[in-house]
Structure 1
Amino acid sequence: MSALIVVLQLAHSCQSTYDIKTMQYVTNGEKVYRAHCQNCHGSQGEGLGKLYPPLTDPDYLKDNRDLLPRIVRFGIKDSIKISNQYFSEVMPGIPDLTDVDIAYVLTYVTLRFGDAKEKYSLEEVKKSISLGKINK
């Protein structure tokens, strides 16, 4: 039921019609988000104070689109600046997620919390991940 509400909210709030495949990514992405991301980043992507960054900065999401799959898979150790605030907590990667799960969750995050207009493609995720870890 909640997945249907999110789908309807997205369709209404963006005032555009997403194709069925994009809506499938959003629905599946919400499930991945709830299982793996929500505890730290919050149910609305709001983050947790200075510990965990929000996922609601559309500029960060857009400017780092090619980096986000690597952050999800491998984690990040470097300090990052989101919404004019620095975050230095280490984010562990989630190596158990498949490439398609990463495409799902990033589609959910960037459409739901950002202002993206299109889903993450599986090819986009694979290309990013093939570059390897961010911090070696």
Structure 2
Amino acid sequence: MKLTFITALGLFLISSLQTSAQTKKTVAKTPANSASSIAAGQKIYLQYCLSCHMIDGGGVPNMNPPLINTSYVKGDKIKLIKIVLNGFAQNVDIDGQSYSNTMPAQTALTDQQVADVLTYVRSSFGNKYSAVKLAEVKAAKGGKKK
């Protein structure tokens, strides 16, 4: 019985070490602050963005633009931040497609939440773009605190 218990304990420890090593490899690919920002951003996206940009980031044709590899998502971060902060009420062509729905300013979001949700968008839906930093959101606002 002692031998069975010791064998089971040994197998458990080996399994735990392998799982821990795999987790460390996965986390090592994403900086800790980016990983937590992405997780926080996903929650914000599901609450504020999902209804227009859809669960897969595909948007709604001719109304709400997709967030998948578009020039707006991969381009100038300050421009993207300002859209979230100030809204967008123009007809716009994005990568050859026209979109006409108004995006309201997301005034309920803190600067950190804006950074988190845009980090999520820029790293999800097949996107692989750099994180949006809190300092960039503050710079886009002209240094005003929220």
My pick for the range that moved more, 46-55 or 26-35, is 46-55
Alignment match, 1:70: 82
* Residues 12-48 of structure 1, C-alpha deviations (whole Å, 9 max, x = no match): 9xxx811111000000000000000001100010001
* Structure 1 residues 29 and 104, CA gap change in structure 2 (3 angstroms): same
Which of 122, 137, 142 is the matching residue for 1:110? 122
Using the TM superposition, give the Cα deviation of residue 131 of structure 1 relative to its aligned residue in structure 2, in angstroms: 8.4
Which of 86, 90, 111 is the matching residue for 2:98? 86
2:38·2:119 contact (CA, 8 Å) conserved in 1? yes
With CA pairs under 8 Å and 6+ residues apart, which has the higher RCO, 1 or 2? Answer: 1
Alignment match, 2:11: none
Between Structure 1 and Structure 2, how many residues are aligned? 119
Question: Relative to total residues, which structure has the larger helix share, 1 or 2?
Answer: 2
1:25·1:108 contact (CA, 8 Å) conserved in 2? yes
Distance in 1, Cα, partners of 2:119 & 2:57: 13
Q: Percent identity?
A: 30
Q: Structure 2: which 5+ runs fail to align?
A: 1-22
Q: Which amino acid aligns with 1:65?
A: K
The structure whose Rg is larger is 2
1:74·1:93 contact (CA, 8 Å) conserved in 2? yes
Which of 18, 21, 29 is the matching residue for 2:33? 21
Instruction: Please say if 1:47 is aligned against 2:93.
Output: no
Q: Structure 1: which 5+ runs fail to align?
A: 1-7
* Stretches of 4+ aligned residues off by more than 6 angstroms: none
Using the TM superposition, give the Cα deviation of residue 61 of structure 1 relative to its aligned residue in structure 2, in angstroms: 1.4
* Structure 1 residues 87 and 58, CA gap change in structure 2 (3 angstroms): closer
Q: Which amino acid aligns with 1:24?
A: S
RMSD: 2.2
Secondary structure of the corresponding residue to residue 139 of structure 2: helix
Secondary structure of the corresponding residue to residue 92 of structure 1: coil
